[in-house]
């Protein structure tokens, strides 16, 4: 038996056959949202009609009386429930590295994915001179499908303005604060929050921030820096490496080649003949390579009794023990307008 509706709006979807005044003949999985404010309903439906974005939950119909209803594609759970479930799992806020004292704060991979999707949606809107009216919060994000892809729901998209751009970035900050309520932010994520506060001069950095990189992206960034790609002079290297490395130096404690498998990609990153026999210094480009070599030996000693480290082992351990290393180096290069070193 079909339910009868008098619809004011229809979002075009060529995969669905529609009979006038009725639900689709081939009905997809849907959820129904109620809007008690008809003006809010109109704003939401206008946005659904005007933009189609992969991170915006699809809406099929709107019933515009008071109260009003919108039929959306089905989703798995709200962001609030999703975060609550994540927090119940062990190791959401801190990660333990075997044989290394203490727990270390880090950015949970699920939170990394969430923030990347949120920032992508905002960037795409801004690129189209659009923004979200009044910002957004957890109630405007749902998780879709088995992959738990974040999508926005119930947002009103309006032409971009300076005040609304501010609200979009402020909403991201508030979202991060809400996720980590009662817990200290991981150091690298604190750097992203600082950039969001001063978004006018940091937009490129915000949307490519090292705190949200995947392991492969971090490794490629290190390789680019070590190889230099011909972009940096010795003066630049001295000026930009020093601030990022000053607080991270380790005493030289052994032969790094004996601790890292030669087949590992990380080995290739650290292999640089130009500094093979140079003493440890922080006044030239070899300081980053030297730091990473020493860190690798240090991690090997602490976690595996000096045995070989594979790529999958070295990345999470280095990221955990030195969480701000890449973020600080990226910041230095960004200030120098050298953004071609990292993934976009």
Residue 288 belongs to domain with CATH number: 1.20.1440
pLDDT value of residue 18? 37
Do the domain assignments include residue 162?
Answer: yes
Distances (CA, A) of 240 to 246, 272, 330: 11, 19, 10
pLDDT value of residue 185? 86
Same domain, 47 and 127: no
pLDDT value of residue 279? 40
Max Cα-Cα span within the chain: 81
CB burial string 312-334: b at 16+ within 10 A, e below? ebbbebbbbbbbbbbbbbbbbbb
Same domain, 170 and 154: yes
pLDDT value of residue 276? 44
pLDDT value of residue 85? 92
User: Which one of 190, 212, 234 terminates a domain?
Assistant: 212
pLDDT value of residue 60? 60
Same domain, 64 and 152: no
Q: Name the β-bridge partners of 79.
A: none
Question: How many domains does the chain divide into?
Answer: 3
What is the token pair recorded at 60? 């099929």
Provide the whole-model pTM: 0.69
How big is the chain by its Cα radius of gyration, in Å? 25
All residue ranges of the chain with pLDDT < 70 are 1-52, 59-73, 95-104, 219-220, 222-255, 259-261, 263-325, 340-341, 343-344
Same domain, 246 and 276: yes
pLDDT in tens, 16-49: 333 334 444 444 455 555 555 555 666 666 555 5
pLDDT value of residue 176? 96
User: Which one of 179, 212, 245 terminates a domain?
Assistant: 212
Residues counted in the chain: 344
Same domain, 84 and 204: yes
Do the domain assignments include residue 141?
Answer: yes
Beta strands 77-78 and 94-96: pairing type?
unpaired
Same domain, 82 and 66: no
Cα 185 from Cα 178, distance rounded (Å): 11
Same domain, 169 and 145: yes
Cα 290 from Cα 48, distance rounded (Å): 53
Same domain, 169 and 265: no
Same domain, 83 and 170: yes
CB burial string 280-305: b at 16+ within 10 A, e below? eebebbbbbbbbbbbbbbbbbebbbe
- For position 204, which CATH number holds? 1.10.510
Do the domain assignments include residue 8?
Answer: no
Do the domain assignments include residue 20?
Answer: no
pLDDT value of residue 50? 54
Which residues span the domain enclosing 251? 215-336
Same domain, 172 and 55: no
pLDDT value of residue 182? 80
Same domain, 49 and 121: no
pLDDT value of residue 43? 61
Do the domain assignments include residue 98?
Answer: yes
Same domain, 172 and 207: yes
């Amino acid at each position: 038996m079909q339910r009868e509706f008098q619809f004011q709006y229809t979002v075009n979807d060529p995969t669905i056959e529609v009979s006038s005044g009725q639900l689709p003949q081939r009905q997809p999985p849907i959820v129904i949202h109620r809007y008690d404010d008809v003006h809010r309903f109109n704003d939401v439906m206008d946005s659904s009609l005007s933009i189609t974005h992969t991170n915006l939950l699809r809406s099929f119909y709107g019933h515009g009386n008071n109260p009003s209803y919108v039929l959306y594609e089905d989703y798995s759970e709200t962001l609030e429930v999703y975060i609550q479930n994540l927090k119940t799992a062990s190791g959401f806020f801190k990660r333990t590295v075997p044989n290394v004292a203490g727990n270390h704060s880090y950015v949970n991979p699920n939170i990394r994915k969430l923030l990347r999707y949120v920032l992508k949606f905002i960037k795409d809107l801004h690129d189209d001179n659009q923004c979200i009216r009044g910002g957004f919060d957890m109630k405007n994000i749902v998780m879709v499908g088995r992959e738990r892809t974040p999508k926005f729901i119930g947002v009103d998209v309006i032409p971009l303005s300076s005040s609304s751009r501010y609200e979009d970035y402020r909403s991201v900050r508030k979202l991060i604060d809400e996720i980590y309520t009662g817990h200290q932010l991981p150091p690298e994520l604190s750097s992203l929050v600082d950039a969001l506060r001063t978004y006018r001069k940091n937009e490129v950095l915000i949307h490519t921030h090292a705190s949200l990189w995947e392991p492969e992206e971090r490794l490629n960034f290190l390789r680019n820096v070590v190889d230099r790609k011909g972009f940096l002079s010795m003066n630049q290297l001295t000026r930009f490496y020093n601030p990022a490395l000053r607080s991270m130096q380790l005493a030289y404690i052994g032969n790094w080649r004996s601790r890292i498998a030669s087949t590992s990609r990380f080995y290739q990153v650290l292999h640089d003949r130009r500094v093979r026999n140079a003493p440890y210094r922080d006044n030239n480009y070899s300081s980053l390579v030297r730091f990473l070599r020493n860190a690798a030996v240090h991690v090997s000693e602490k976690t595996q009794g000096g045995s070989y480290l594979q790529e999958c082992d070295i990345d999470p351990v280095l990221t955990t023990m030195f969480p701000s290393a890449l973020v600080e180096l990226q910041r230095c290069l960004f200030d120098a307008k050298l953004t071609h070193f990292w993934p976009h």
